[in-house]
């Protein structure tokens, strides 16, 4: 009897330890998130409602819980907000149009070259984001091959340029975030059972119908994931606008950067950051629910 009681006690202790194990494994990650995400967010929220110290030096602020900072910040940066989401939307559409055929070819038509093509897709990550953007400034500049070619074909005028324009900004964003679109699409397409496509052909569906009714719906998780991974960082990007754009193509990221590090207007910068996060969160939630992939939320 004593032996049985001892065995039951040991079993209960083991079960209790096993039940606590997942939480113990989560603890380092939760501490990391709390320290480097939750606390900075709380600090940013507090900063967004501060006001300058009367008679104080530049950069000195006191907590007054002034919520009107959000209204003032939005009114001051309304064009940049709209421009950021328009550019991000265009870059996402272009990335999807380029990446889907590429991912489809890698998944179904690449054969033994599949691994090589995947390496080529991620190869730009081996180079600095900043250097890739500077390279596009040279490609689209007078010393590149794009402008002389377009002039020779009489597509643009002899004095027209591509740098310092909205086209250059969107082009740079599309290129820099292209792998974020391609890889989720490939992962989703690669999981499609080829027998499903064969069954569609057996039912006398042509290639377009098969793609519209079978391939694209089955790849929707990859489409949603890729568009989110592209749109979210693109909306907050400021490097492409700073290097490839001009004062008329400034995005909200450039305004936040300027408010933080040049003007030293911390409350406005913090308020703009919060509004950007809130706007992206709302748009992403609506998009996911409309696309029928609520499990990604």
Low-confidence stretches of the chain (pLDDT < 70) are 1-18, 56-57, 292-297
- The pLDDT of residue 289: 86
Query: Can you give the three-state secondary structure of 184-228, one letter per residue?
Result: HHHHHHHCCCHHHHHHHHHCCCCHHHHHHHHHHHHCHHHHHHHHH
158 neighbors 152 (Cβ within 8 angstroms): no
256 neighbors 238 (Cβ within 8 angstroms): yes
- The pLDDT of residue 134: 92
Distance CA 247, CA 276 (A): 20
Checking 73-78 for CB contacts under 8 A at 24+ apart, the result is 73/267, 73/268, 73/271, 73/272, 73/275, 74/271, 74/272, 74/275, 76/268, 77/252, 77/255, 77/272
Kind and range of the H or E element at 51? strand 50-52
- 131 DSSP 8-state letter: H
pLDDT in tens, 112-142: 899 999 999 999 889 899 999 999 999 998 8
For residue 130, the tally of other CB atoms under 10 A from its CB is 11
- CA distances to 165, 204, 226, 239, 240 from 235, rounded to whole Å, are 17, 43, 14, 11, 11
Q: How many residues does this entry show for the chain?
A: 297
For residue 147, the tally of other CB atoms under 10 A from its CB is 18
182 neighbors 243 (Cβ within 8 angstroms): no
Kind and range of the H or E element at 52? strand 50-52
């Amino acid at each position: 009897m004593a032996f049985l009681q001892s065995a039951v006690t040991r079993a209960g202790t083991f079960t209790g330890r096993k039940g606590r194990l997942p939480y113990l494994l989560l603890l380092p990650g939760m501490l990391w998130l709390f320290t480097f995400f939750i606390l900075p967010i709380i600090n940013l929220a507090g900063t967004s409602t501060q006001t300058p110290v009367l008679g104080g030096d530049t950069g000195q602020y006191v907590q007054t819980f002034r919520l009107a900072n959000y209204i003032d910040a939005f009114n001051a940066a309304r064009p940049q907000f709209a421009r950021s989401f328009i550019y991000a939307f265009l870059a996402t559409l272009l990335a999807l149009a380029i990446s889907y055929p590429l991912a489809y070819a890698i998944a179904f038509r690449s054969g033994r070259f599949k691994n090589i093509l995947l390496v080529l897709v991620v190869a730009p990550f081996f180079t600095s984001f900043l250097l890739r953007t500077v390279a596009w400034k040279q490609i689209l500049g007078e010393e590149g091959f794009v402008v002389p070619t377009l002039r020779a074909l009489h597509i643009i005028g002899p004095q027209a340029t591509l740098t310092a324009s909205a086209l250059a900004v969107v082009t740079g964003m599309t290129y820099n975030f292209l792998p974020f679109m391609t890889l989720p699409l490939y992962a989703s397409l690669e999981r499609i059972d080829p027998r499903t496509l064969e069954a569609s052909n057996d039912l006398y569906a042509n290639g377009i119908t098969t793609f519209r009714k079978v391939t694209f719906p089955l790849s929707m998780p990859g489409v949603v994931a890729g568009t989110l991974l592209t749109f979210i960082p693109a909306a907050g990007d400021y490097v492409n606008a700073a290097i490839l754009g001009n004062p008329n193509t400034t995005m909200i990221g450039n305004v936040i950067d300027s408010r933080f590090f040049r003007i030293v207007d911390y409350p406005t910068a913090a308020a703009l950051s919060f509004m950007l996060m809130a706007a992206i969160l709302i748009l992403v939630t609506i998009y996911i629910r409309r696309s029928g992939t609520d499990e990604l939320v």
